Structure 1
Amino acid sequence: MAANQLAVVTGASTGIGLELARCCAQVGFNLVIAADETAIEGVAVDLRRFGGSVEPVETDLATIEGVDKLCAAIADRPIDALLANAGIGLGRAFLDQDFQRIRHVVDTNITGTLYLIHRAGNAMLRRNSGRILITGSIAGFMPGSFEAVYNASKAFLDSFSFALREELRDSGVTVTCLMPGATDTEFFRRADMMDTKVGTEQKDDAYEVAKAGFDAMLRGEADIVTGLKNKIQATVATITPNEMLAKQHRKLAEPGTAKS
């Protein structure tokens, strides 16, 4: 099905992005994979065993220059699937956070993602063909006390994905939003949240989350919330006052809430 088709996966060095790239490779996509870590080179070596071409690009997708570097690596090749997954988190109270780290979350999760989708999406629209998968989160359904900027960034992406999908409704380009809950990746360690309840409790398997999102993208669905617990949580969040949701999130993400 995907023979000679090109998929671009961002944030592909670890976690959900790595597993999304694996899903692409398993069905025969050629790949361009990007991350801001040298580990992306090793990922490319591993994924080539599935038989397709895999080109790694080490670049900082929080910057315009970093996105331009990725686009230059793709050159004029048509992108059949863009899996916009690059993202980072940041725990602790907003006023205690270093503003440069706050800015990096916004630039990675929102600005860089939008710029890449704008460039790739225009090329898809000219061809009237393509699939876009955006990694949002059920975190976007609730005010994220002690994770405020991250949750707000995911609320932005969740909303944006549905709006873009509607704008492209009469074209051959589909947009799908993957909205997982807490997933077993490096996310919480990197976000400095290993002393929190959400950082230390059991999480969903990254490959299962990625496979659900990948399959939803291939089907052209609008969105997928992975896992029954997360589906229930997302549904409840739509009818719960935001003030109460913020209090509930505090119990998950406030430093010191990890079980001893």
Structure 2
Amino acid sequence: METTKNALITGASSGIGFELARCFVRDNYHVILVARHGSHLDEAAQTLQREFPQSRTTVIPCDLSLPQGPEQLYAEVQRLGLQVDVLVNDAGFGESGLFVDTDLQKELGMIQLNVASLVHLTKLYLKEMVARRSGKILQVGSVVSFMPNPKQAIYAATKAFILSFTEAIQNEVKDTGVTITLLCPPATDTNFFNVANMEDTKIAQGDLADPKVVAEEGYKGLMNGDARVLPTFGAKLNFASSNLFPDSMLAMLMKSQMKEVK
């Protein structure tokens, strides 16, 4: 079957982003793979090619933690003459530790990537989609979108922003032919914990979700035009807890998950 639609996925070289790319390629989308490191993207594209010989991918290395990243990415996609039918904002990273001790520059880069670049790309492509009256956007939030997370204060705040932002623009684009879906994974078995210096924490050593399951549920919800996807039982439990308990108790519970396992 000839590929007719293009999906742009940030954070596509590994984890949930890569598994989402696999879903799109399987369904004959041309996938634009975006991440910081070109070598990792090339490996991802080669893996997809081996699994799906009919697949068509385009690799664009781009550092979206820099303010100029989104415009550079947008310009390159335009140069290639590609229309983005689906945008997946998956790129993001975390950092752990007490806020008074953590690295400010790393946190500002996190805000740039997790929040500013997501908003920037959404603005650029949503305008095009609304003008065409067709398109889909998947925003990757987290179960921590719903609760405070001590020792991951900035990361959780970026995910809370994504929740509020996404729900607002979901309302704005009603009846435009464009759907925006929010995916809220629980702790998932990806490289996240290594980047966030959390390998030895209780949560990282616990029962982690399978990124394939998270991606499949997110993809299904996106294709259905669902507003929100809680992809696992654990995610649904986290969301239910956020409505049942006061924030002070949730903060205490989340902080306990950040303890190091000896």
Pairwise same-fold verdict (TM > 0.5): yes
Number of the residue aligned with 1:40: 41
Q: Does the 8 Å contact 1:19/1:207 carry over to 2?
A: yes
Measured on the aligned residues, the alpha-carbon RMSD in Å equals: 1.4
Q: 1:6 offset after TM fit, Å? A: 0.3
1:155-181 deviations in whole A, cap 9, x for unaligned?
110121111111001101100000010
Number of the residue aligned with 2:16: 16
Q: 1:53 offset after TM fit, Å? A: 1.8
* Residue type of the alignment partner of 1:243: S
Identical amino acids, percent of aligned pairs:
33
Taking a change above 3 Å as real, the CA distance of residues 2 and 90 of structure 1, as seen in their structure-2 partners, is farther
Number of the residue aligned with 2:256: 251
- Give 5+ residue unaligned stretches, structure 1: none
Q: 1:114 offset after TM fit, Å? A: 0.5
Equivalent position SS for 1:95? coil
Which 4+ residue blocks in structure 1 deviate beyond 6 angstroms?
none
1:25-69 deviations in whole A, cap 9, x for unaligned?
010000111000130111122223421321111111122321122
1:12-33 deviations in whole A, cap 9, x for unaligned?
0110001011111010000111
* Residue type of the alignment partner of 2:49: R
Number of the residue aligned with 1:54: 57
Q: Does the 8 Å contact 2:66/2:109 carry over to 1?
A: no
**36-45 vs 6-15, greater mean Cα deviation:** 36-45
- Structure 2 counterpart of 1:67, from 33, 52, 70: 70
1:198-239 deviations in whole A, cap 9, x for unaligned?
121120100110010011000000011111122022112123
Superposed, 1:128-139 pairs within 5 Å as 128-139=133-144
Q: Structure 2 CA distance, aligned partners of 1:70 and 1:180?
A: 26
- Give 5+ residue unaligned stretches, structure 2: none
* Residue type of the alignment partner of 1:131: K
Structure 1 residue 179 and structure 2 residue 180: aligned? no
Q: TM-score, normalised by structure 2?
A: 0.95
Q: TM-score, normalised by structure 1?
A: 0.95
Q: Does the 8 Å contact 1:183/1:204 carry over to 2?
A: yes
Q: Structure 1 CA distance, aligned partners of 2:204 and 2:104?
A: 22
